[in-house]
Structures are given as structure tokens and as C-alpha cells.
Structure 1
Amino acid sequence: MSIKLYGLVGSTATFRAMAALYEKDLEFEFVPVDLASKEQKTPQFLTRNPFGQVPVYEDGDLTLFESRAITKYIAEAYADKGTPLTSKDPKKSAIEAVWSEVEAQKFDPTTSKLGMELVLKPKWGQTTDEAVVSEFEKQLEDLLDVYESRLTKSKYLGGDCFTLVDLHHLPNVFYLMMTKSKRLFDARPHVSAWVSDIVSRPAWIKVASKLQG
């Protein structure tokens, strides 16, 4: 099998790349990386990603790291397969690029911090810092107000079709739906509908099932 994805089940970045592969109906080999033993820092792994992080994507003689770069390649290299994840129209593509930046620069930092406090710390037996949660929930509220306005104009953040923009949100959205921060999404009807839509996609259900597998 020419496509390999090296990563960790449960990792948001790994799940982002995996979701793109499933949306494209591509066969791939998943290669688990043991982060607990620091396998990602071994000399062998560092030849794939010099930063010692997951995921890493291999497709023939091509090796990529950074999950959003991986999904962009998958969307463009396999444009004729599965779900179209990017637009070929320059104006639509530009709008998708704007909201992709919003996800990477605003949504991901805020929700990752909440995920650390509300998901990972309890899992690790550590105490959640409620002051940090309050601070970042306020940031998320402000951001979701913008999302609510945007989603009154189009079904998805990038436009009327599901794209990489929405896909990139999925891992953090999925985890926050298991926490008290879910109420912030539920309180905004268009955001709530968008969340229900994207988390119920067959490709994402396949990804999420890995947590039970």
C-alpha cells in the first residue's frame, strides 16, 4: 500500500489527516507511533519529521508533515476521488482560505487550550484550572458569535459545500462536545446545526470509531 499515515489514535492532528483520507475513500496503512516511549523522537522517525511530531504522511516517494498541509495535498492530489474538499473557483477558494486561517489562528489555539483543561487533564488525573477554562470559554464565545453570523449566510464555513475548512474543525469540536463547553455551541442554532452535520459524516464516524477500537 503506497499511502501510510504515521500517528496516534486520539491525536487531533492525526485525526485531521485521517478524516481527509476517509473523505477521499483512499486506502491507507495506519502506522501507530508510541508517543509515551518517545518513538517520535527517535533518529529513524526524525528522518520523516525533523520536529518529532505526528502525523507523518507518506505517499510513494513523498513525505509530508503538518496535518493541514497533508489534508491540502490529499484534497488536491486526489481531487477526482471521494468528497470534493476544495473549490477550483478562485473566489470560492479565497473564501475557504480565509476561514482556514480563522481555524488555524483563532479556533484551534482556543479550543486546544480548553481540550487540555477539560479532556486531557482529567484523563491524566490532573486538576482542571477553572480560571483558564473561564478565560478561554469567553474567547470561544466571542469566536462562535462570529461563526453564528457566518453560518446564517452559508451552510458551511467555507461556503455551501463541506470543505477542508469544516474538516479541520472536526477533532477539537468532537472532543469539546464531551465537555461542559458543548453548551456554547448548542446556544447558537446555526453553529449547533453545523456541528451536528459535520460530526455525523460517515468519514468522521470512521475516525471517531478508532477511539473504541
Structure 2
Amino acid sequence: MAIKVHGSRVSTATMRVTAALTEKGLQFELAPVNMAEGHHKQQPFLSLNPFGQVPAFEDGDLVLFESRAINKYISEAYAGVGVPLLSKDPKAMATELVWMEVEAHKYDPIAAKLTFELCIKPFLKLTTDDAVVEEQEGALGKVLDVYEARLEKSPFLGGASFSLADLNHLPTLGYLMGTRAKAVFDSRPRVSAWCETILARPAWQAVFGLKSQAA
């Protein structure tokens, strides 16, 4: 049975999963979920993700939700195809996993708030809260100071090679690079170079280029 991703092309979490699948060169079906009409909060979607959030993921009889867990499954189950997204070496993988945790718990809560204020609100014709943006930009800067020091030691967060530690950042990075928040990244030379490198990956360009075809 084919891999199926239930979600929206504009959803950062959906893009996180489709980016991993695209890096792996895997064929998949993107089943649109109309979030504007609340279909993610209704059956049959709730049978796939009881929390009513996209994406949901099917690979044969396996059903998963939570984008980062899905990506780890993709990386392990399809380790032999496409771009390696997790190291086979336990110590190298441990470092990658640390930075995956950093993305999920240190970076993403801030980046998600900035994405909402600077990208989602304007799209919905809502007023951006400049005070929130300023506060979150300050918080982001502190996290990126740690990234700058890390990237002095290796070209990617997890080490010498691109991995999920980098890929999981791409959806919010893709949005924020078109906003005033780009300056927070650009003011740190190694972070700026890292952003440029990972955002230029063909798989990501293909995924982000489809967001205009939102369901």
C-alpha cells in the first residue's frame, strides 16, 4: 500500500513530513485536509489523529501522527534509500537526536509564534502584535547564539552531514525568511550560512514551492 500523508501544504508540520519523504525519494499521496472548514477536528480524520492536528500518516497498516515521530520512522524504515537522515553510528545519532530535541523544545515554540504573527495573521487579515514579535525575536536570538557556537564546530547541527536535526527546522525557516525575522538569522554568520544551505536543498524547494496549492 502507498504512503499517504493527510494534511495541508501550508502546514509546517505537514511540510516537515513531506520534506523527509522527498529527501528519501519516496512516492506518497498527499490527502488534503480542509482545515478552514475544520475537517481536522471531525471524523474520519479524528480516527487517524485523535488530537485533531495535521498531519496524519499511513504506511500500509501503520498509522502515525506527530511529525517528528513520523520523520524518525521514515528515516529508520527507509534507511537504505535516498538521503540518510539519521546516522547509523550510535554516538553520531545521539548527537543528532539531541539537536532534534533542541529544535522541538527550544527553537520551534519561538519560531511557531513568530510564524503565526508574521505570516499567518497577515494571511488571515489580522493585526500582527509587534510587542509579541519583538519579544519572540529576542528569545530567538538567544537560541540562535547557541546555534552559532554549535555551527562553529560542524557544518550541520547534528555533525558533518545533513540530518533530521536540520530538516525539522525547514518549515518555519521557509516562512520566516520572508519576514523581518530574517535579520535575526542573518546577524549570525554561521547560522545564516546554514540556513542558506539547507533552504537550497532541492527536496525542500520542491515541497515549499507547492504551498500555494493549499487545500
Report the TM-score, using the length of structure 1 for normalisation.
0.98
Distance 2:26 2:107 in 1: 28
Task: Give the AA of the match of 1:176.
Answer: L
Greater relative contact order structure (CA < 8 Å, 6+ sep): 2
Moved segments of 4+, more than 6 Å: none
**1:205 paired to 2:205:** yes
Distance 2:164 2:108 in 1: 14
Distance 2:14 2:133 in 1: 25
Question: 1:120 corresponds to which residue?
Answer: 120
Q: Which runs of 5+ in 2 are unaligned?
A: none
Distance 1:101 1:41 in 2: 27
Question: 2:28 corresponds to which residue?
Answer: 28
Report the TM-score, using the length of structure 2 for normalisation.
0.97
Deviation of residue 30 (structure 1)?
A: 0.8
Distance 1:34 1:21 in 2: 22
Question: 1:14 corresponds to which residue?
Answer: 14
**1:147 paired to 2:120:** no
Task: Give the AA of the match of 1:110.
Answer: I
Question: 2:42 corresponds to which residue?
Answer: 42
Distance 1:124 1:13 in 2: 19
Question: 1:73 corresponds to which residue?
Answer: 73
User: Alignment partner of 1:64: what SS?
Assistant: strand
Distance 2:46 2:212 in 1: 29
How many residues are treated as equivalent by the alignment? 213
Question: 1:93 corresponds to which residue?
Answer: 93
Deviation per CA, 1:119-164: give whole Å up to 9, x if none. Answer: 1111111111111111110000111111011001000000010000
Distance 1:24 1:142 in 2: 33
Distance 1:70 1:133 in 2: 30
- Cα RMSD over matched residues? 0.9
Distance 2:130 2:53 in 1: 29
Deviation of residue 43 (structure 1)?
A: 2.2
Distance 1:127 1:36 in 2: 19
